[in-house]
Chain A
Amino acid sequence: IAGITQAPTSQILAAGRRMTLRCTQDMRHNAMYWYRQDLGLGLRLIHYSNTAGTTGKGEVPDGYSVSRANTDDFPLTLASAVPSQTSVYFCASSTTRPPGELFFGEGSRLTVL
């Protein structure tokens, strides 16, 4: 089934540990995005990539890094997790023209203790 796959679905992590959330799409979309969703704060953009080989910072990039080595994969890394990074993380993809019709993965629930 075409779409976006995120892994893991859920993870509990000790503060200070490194964590990579994986995201893979098979729709050959140029653009990919990482959002975090917290109660009362909606979806906030962490990082994005308009095409393979390029990335950009979103609204809340601090403490996160991304890479876009190819079209399909867009991993999000927390180098040293902190409790404030406890959230639900959504990966999304879209074509770039027109931009914004996003297809979302099922989300990754991360708890940092």
Chain B
Amino acid sequence: QKEVEQNSGPLSVPEGAIASLNCTYSDRGSQSFFWYRQYSGKSPELIMSIYSNGDKEDGRFTAQLNKASQYVSLLIRDSQPSDSATYLCAVNSRDDKIIFGKGTRLHILP
């Protein structure tokens, strides 16, 4: 079992709707959680980080963390075609290794 699990998708969402991306992790000792966005042929870029339980909002993006359930999610409000990309969940594992999930492909339908 991979340490960080994501649904590979593709997830198709109409333009203007809310996109919801989910991630679970296995290491209860993890303290740092991240969402990266990767466009095709490009390198990943950080869009959200979250370190404590609850919600963290940044513009149209909201990260949600529930350590008891070992679950982290990303909500994208008012989805735009430019949000179409692969979204990678990352978790710091033991010894500060940063482990990624396989990523979820998101398609925003115009």
Q: What is the interface of chain A, defined by CB distance below 8 A to chain B?
A: 31, 33, 35, 40-45, 48, 50, 56, 58-59, 90, 92, 94, 96, 98-107
Contact = CB atoms under 8 A, between A and B. Distances in A.
Contacts, number: 67
B58 interface: no
Interface of B: 6, 8, 31-32, 34, 36, 43-46, 49, 51, 88, 90-92, 95-103
B30 to A, nearest CB: 10
Main secondary structure of the interface of A (DSSP, over half): strand
A102 B46 contact: yes
Contacts of B88: 42-43
Contacts of A48: 96-98
Contacts of A99: 32, 92, 96, 98
Contacts of A101: 34, 46, 49
